[in-house]
Structure 1
Amino acid sequence: MSESLSNVVYLFLAVVGLVMAAWKSLALFRDATPTLALIVSMQTCGAVDYAMASPAGYRAIGEMTHQPSFATLPVYVGILICFAHAHILTLLWDPQARKATSSLRRVIAWTLTYAFGASLMTTFFLFADPSGAVDPLRFNTTYADNPMIFLFLLVFLVMLTSGTLNTWRQCRRMELTDPQIQHSVRAFSLAMLAIFGYVVCSAPAIALAALGNHSLDTLGVFGSTCGAIGTVAIFYGLAGAATSAWWRERRDYKFLQPLWDLVVSTVDQNLAFSVRAAQSRHLTVNVTFQLHRRVIEILDGIRVLRPWMSPTPMSAVHLLHDQHIAQGSTWAPLAQQDLDAAVTAASLHDAVRRLQSARQKQGHLGRTSRSQLHAEPVVRLPGDDTPAANERDRLLRVSKALSHPLVSAALREANGAGLPQAGAGANG
């Protein structure tokens, strides 16, 4: 990697690292956990480290300290700190490791090990005298014949090997229930192997350079490329699951719009936290909060519609579904969950129609008082006992079912059946 390209790549990675640290900081603000705190710290440290390691940053530090190679010390110690974060992070991620009684002792032991390694590196570097101008990408091989620098590099490579391989091993052993997080952990483990490529490239180049042979200096420079590739994989590993979750939440927010329009916007806009925000199709920030609000508002709207629900459209859905199965149709038979969603969708459509009809008869547009409703048993909907954690999935199925041909046919059947529209609001 040339010096000019290194500047571009390193500074780009520094900016990306800072952006990700800021993003994770928002999550940390909402949900303060040790793992999120470690991620924010690691990303911040990595971003600063890449800024210092760029040839431009490296030389700027040299000019400020009047020691051209001084930046090597904070850069290499910073790298060690980053991988200490990564190793301890995987110990906290692993459910099995967390259950072990010795987990805290392991975290403390590894923390002290990395701290001792950083102290050794600092001592060896300060006792050395790496004077004179140097190519920032070739420091290792330029000063490998200096005994103190050689010990400095030896400790660095040993600790980096420990950090990368132990983290890779921990990730490979981890079994998580969430497939998205499991995928991210696998990416994290591959990042460790890529960064270990830095050790594979640098170790022989340093060993030969210490003996006065510089034939592998270019291989040592290539090690920085392995580090950059591994860093990109780390970014993906740390952000992949969160980005996928953000995308799914944004998608689900949009998919719930038809149901929100039906049971909130049409019924009572006072149920909405913010009507203008809820009707926005370009949600990018605070997605989790907005999605939770949307689910809550829809459930509130369904609760308002309870007195106006009738069993007639529900029965019509089941009847028409059975007829279509027997006679064949253009759409496939519905699974039980999808059939329940269709029943709910038809009931909500009908309840909204009945509520609007009652409002027109009473000559006002506000919410109809419950005192004007018949005290008849409230119609139960399929999925009324759904756990809160599963409501989002249930409502997504209901929103999708709103436009299903079965629901449209059931509503026509119910409205034209000439049957008494049983339910709390029949005579509203």
Structure 2
Amino acid sequence: MTAYDYLSQVSAAAGASAFLYRLPELTRRRDDPAVWALCVYFLASALSFLIDLNVLRNHIAAFFNYPNVTTVITQSAVVILTAAQQVVLIYWSHPPEVARARVKRCISFFLTMLMVLVSLFFLIGPYNAPSSAEDSLLRNMGELEYALYLLFYITICAVGQFVALRMSWRHTGVAHRFWLRLGMRAVTAGAALILVYCLIRYTEMVGTQLGFDMSAWEPVYWLAGSVGSLLQLFGWTVPSWGAAASLWISDYRAYLALRPLWWALYQAVPSIALELPRSPSADRLPPRNLRFHLYRRVIEILDGYLELRPQLSLAARQADHANKERHSPEREARLLHWALTARAEGRETSQPAGTTPIVTTITRREDGFTEQLAWLIDVALSFTRITADHERRSALRNCGGTQ
């Protein structure tokens, strides 16, 4: 499989995935023209790469009994996706009343260009010799009529991508959400690469007409076009899935960070667990419904704290820390380590009569879940470090005692 085939398959899969990802939203927002345009863009993007794959193009040409018919189908899909992209940006950048008028003019322009393009293709006739998708256009460029046809097509693409670059760059400056800004920057970068793609094709057309061999430019041409398309697909989808993916990654890291603390509490108080724990290696894999299991882990840690209140209260009375450390995660972790050790060794935890049990910082915090989770992660990291230091010192003492 050539690099062209690989890039084309990846781009086709990306476009199809984006279309399927957005399809449920289309069923919920059938009256939103921007969503319709975005779905058309994704579908046309997928088809523009899929139809011209080397494994399919000859079969499609044979089905229609017309050589290189996939060329005009692919180019038509590109014109359609270019128009759809313009429609999305217009609706995102203007009030509905203004957007509707601009969209009508945009669609009329690209529809006219599409009709002219298809008519020209069938008027000049295709190149009859079989060729791969990579060099099909390059072989045809030697014919002046086909070169002019291709010049018309590339100009349509260049104009559309230039307008998309200008509008997406302008939208980047007014977007308040991080993922929307990132998406618009990716769309802008993709449009810039596709303009490079167009510039290379202009150079190839001039060079071919002057008798030069321009085949060395083809890999750069396809690379610029494919990567530019992938960047735009990323840019149009990341505002919807970027925040969710970021939250999932954050939850997964928190889930892993809390495990040493949760495991120590579970070993001391098994009743805190709603479900039997997985093995340490299996627990590194994200569970289904990660958010629920993260909530459960936090709740079970807090339940473990409540079960250790006698030991924690005694540890807090005996601790000798400066006031500035009184509410630090480090102090909390040390108290917890002492309490777990005391419980494991069965130490006396009774307190003098008439004294009020001391609770630790974690059991009296009234923050929301996000703040509570951040505090627990700090405590868990400190606890992991303290436990490792304690085990290392114990190992050194044992080694010293055996010598």
- In the superposition, the TM-score normalised over structure 2's length comes to 0.66
CA distance in 2, matches of 1:14, 1:395: 45
Identity %: 12
1:58-137 aligned at under 5 Å gives the runs: 58-84=57-83, 86-87=85-86, 97=93, 105=100, 108-109=103-104, 110=106, 114-115=110-111, 117-130=113-126, 132-133=128-129, 135=131, 136=133, 137=135
Q: Which residue of 2 aligns with 1:400?
A: 381
Report the equivalent of 2:13: 18
Matches within 5 A, 1:244-255: 249-255=251-257
Instruction: State whether residues 295 and 391 of structure 1, in contact with CA within 8 Å, keep that contact through their aligned partners in structure 2.
Output: no
CA shift for structure 1 position 139:
2.5
Whether the aligned pair in 2 keeps the contact of 1:321 and 1:406 (CA below 8 Å) is no
**AA in 1 matched with 2:329:** A
Distance change in 2, residues 1:53/1:277 (3 Å) = farther
- Preserved CA contact (<8 Å) 1:165 1:196: yes
CA 311–194 in structure 1, closer or farther in 2 if over 3 Å, else same: same
Q: Tell me: CA distance 1:299–1:280, structure 2 relative to 1, closer, same or farther (3 Å).
A: same
Cα 1:132–1:244, aligned 2, differ >3 Å: closer, same or farther? Answer: same
Alignment correspondent of 1:225? 223
Distance 1:24 1:272 in 2: 40
- Checking the alignment, whether the CA contact within 8 Å between 2:61 and 2:67 is kept in structure 1 is yes
Instruction: Note if contact 1:194-1:226 (Cα within 8 Å) is conserved in structure 2.
Output: yes
Moved more, 344-353 or 164-173: 344-353
| Count of residues in correspondence between the two structures | 366
Say which is worse superposed, 10-19 or 82-91, in terms of deviation.
82-91
Q: CA separation of 1:295/1:249 partners in 2, compared to 1, >3 Å: closer, same or farther? A: closer
Change (3 A) 1:258 1:158: same
Query: How far apart are residue 398 of structure 1 and its match?
Result: 2.5
What is the root-mean-square deviation in Å for CA atoms of aligned residues?
Answer: 5.1
AA in 2 matched with 1:401: S
Report the Cα distance in structure 2 between the residues aligned to 1:179 and 1:79, rounded to whole angstroms. Answer: 29
Inter-CA distance 38–153: structure 2 relative to 1 (3 Å threshold): same
1:280 Cα shift? 1.9
- Give the match's secondary structure for 1:79: helix
Alignment partners' CA distance in 2, 1:157 and 1:300: 60
The one-character-per-residue Cα deviations of 1:356-391 (angstroms, maximum 9, x if unpaired) are: 899xx9xxxxxxxxxxxxx98976638833334455
Q: Distance in 1 between matches of 2:213 and 2:17?
A: 39
Shift of 1:60: 2.8
Question: Following TM superposition, by how much is the alpha carbon of 1:193 offset from its aligned partner in structure 2, in angstroms?
Answer: 1.2
Residue number among 316, 329, 335 corresponding to 1:341 in the alignment: 329
Contact 1:313 1:347 in 2 (8 A): yes
Q: Which residue of 2 aligns with 1:165?
A: 162
Q: Which is further off, 375-384 or 340-349? A: 375-384
Output the CA distance in 2 between the equivalents of 1:315 and 1:274.
Answer: 34
1:397 and 1:63 mapped to 2: Cα distance? 65
Which digits, 9 at most, give the CA deviation of each residue in 1:96-124, with x for residues without a partner?
x48x5668548845566555544443344
Structure 2 match to 1:195? 194
User: Larger % of helix: which?
Assistant: 2
Matches within 5 A, 1:230-379: 230-231=228-229, 233-234=231-232, 249-263=251-265, 267-268=269-270, 271-272=273-274, 275-276=277-278, 280-283=282-285, 289-290=289-290, 292-304=291-303, 305-306=305-306, 308-309=308-309, 310=312, 313=315, 319-322=320-323, 340-346=328-334
Structure 1 counterpart of 2:330, which letter?
A
* Superposed displacement of residue 196, structure 1: 1.0
Letter in 2 for 1:164: Q
Offset at residue 28 of structure 1 (A)? 7.6
- 1:137-167 alpha-carbon deviations (Å, 9 max, x no partner): 24267266338x845751x323322442233
* Equivalent-residue separation in structure 2 for 1:27 and 1:269 (angstroms): 44
Q: Relative to 1, partners in 2 of residues 1:229 and 1:105: Cα closer, same or farther, differing over 3 Å? A: same
Q: Which runs of no fewer than 5 residues in structure 2 stay unpaired?
A: 350-355, 391-403
Q: Is the 8 A contact 1:69 1:131 kept in 2?
A: yes
Distance 1:404 1:205 in 2: 62
Give 1:320's aligned amino acid.
H
1:38 deviates by 7.6
Question: Aligned partners of 2:318 and 2:24: how far apart in 1?
Answer: 49
The one-letter code matched in structure 1 to 2:380 is: S
Question: Counterpart of 1:61 in 2: which secondary structure?
Answer: helix
Q: Is the 8 A contact 1:262 1:349 kept in 2?
A: no
Aligned residues of 1:342 and 1:407 also touching (Cα < 8 A): no
Distance in 2 (CA, whole Å) between partners of 1:341 and 1:116 is 67
SS at match of 2:117: helix
- The alpha-carbon deviation at position 10 of structure 1 amounts to 2.6
**SS of residue matched to 2:278:** helix
Q: Is the 8 A contact 1:269 1:275 kept in 2?
A: no
Secondary structure class of the residue paired with 2:118: helix
TM (norm. structure 1) is 0.62
Distance 1:315 1:86 in 2: 67
Gaps of 5+ in 1: 326-333, 362-374, 410-428
State the 1:340 CA deviation. 3.7
